[in-house]
Structures are given as structure tokens and as C-alpha cells.
């Protein structure tokens, strides 16, 4: 199985600004537009609301409730993965929709791990 073509960048969840997009890459328009919505997505949601949703979904109290947000369309999969080691930053990724969302998430998790290692 081939890996989905993954585009990614790091953005501020507070301002929506693109912070890092990789070396010699043009900024993917869909991801920069998604980055611009981060303050609305994460600033408009009351944390208690997320905790109530997580508990209804069976999350353990005090656990990391939401590791990421997936936005699915017929043609694309977008992932917002808040970076635990960088306050107010998130890895945004996008790839063509395919039957392999698990593989796409594995790539996003690997990229997030690379970013965490680079910080150390």
C-alpha cells in the first residue's frame, strides 16, 4: 500500500500564524487557511464542554481527552494535532482522502514525534 501524500506545517493555535512549514516548501493554501481558523476552533470552545464530550465517549478522567481533530471531506483529510511539548502550537496535516486514514494518522504521529525530538 502506498503512503498518502502528506502536506504539513506548524501553526499557532492562538494567532493562526504559520510558524514552520518545512524546508523549501511552498505553503499549501488549504493548510494556511485551516491555520487561520485555529483561534476560532480552540478559542471558542470551553474546556468543560470538551471534558463532557470526552466523558460521554468513555475517556478516563484526567487523561488526554483529544489528541487531534480530524476533518474529513470526500476529497481530503485534514488533521489538527496539538503539540504537547509546544504550548499553543499545532501540527496541521492534509492528504488526499483514501481508505487508509490509519496510515495517514501514523504519518502525522511520526511527524509530531520528529518535532518533539527536534526540541530536545
Task: Tell whether 56 is covered by a domain.
Answer: yes
Inter-residue long-range contacts of 22-28, CB under 8 Å, 24+ positions, other chains counted:
28/94
DSSP 108: H
Checking if the pLDDT of 56 tops 70, the result is: yes
Backbone φ and ψ for 107, nearest 5 degrees, come out as: -65, -40
Mean pLDDT confidence for 112-120: 83
Task: Tell whether 97 is covered by a domain.
Answer: yes
For 78, the domain range is: 7-119
Query: pLDDT tens, 102-113?
Result: 889 999 999 999
pTM for this one?
A: 0.81
CATH number of the domain within which 80 lies: 3.30.450.30
pLDDT interval class at 55 (50, 70, 90): confident
Amino acid at each position: 500500500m502506498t503512503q498518502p501524500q502528506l502536506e504539513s506545517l506548524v501553526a499557532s493555535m492562538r494567532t493562526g500564524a504559520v510558524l514552520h512549514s518545512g524546508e523549501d516548501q511552498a505553503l499549501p493554501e488549504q493548510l494556511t487557511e485551516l491555520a487561520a481558523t485555529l483561534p476560532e476552533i480552540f478559542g471558542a470552545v470551553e474546556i468543560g464542554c470538551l471534558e463532557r464530550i470526552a466523558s460521554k465517549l468513555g475517556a478516563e478522567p484526567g487523561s488526554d481527552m483529544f489528541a487531534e481533530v480530524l476533518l474529513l471531506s470526500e476529497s481530503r483529510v485534514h488533521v489538527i494535532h496539538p503539540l504537547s511539548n509546544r504550548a499553543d502550537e499545532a501540527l496541521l496535516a492534509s492528504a488526499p482522502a483514501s481508505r487508509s486514514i490509519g496510515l495517514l494518522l501514523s504519518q502525522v504521529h511520526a511527524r509530531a514525534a520528529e518535532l518533539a525530538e527536534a526540541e530536545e
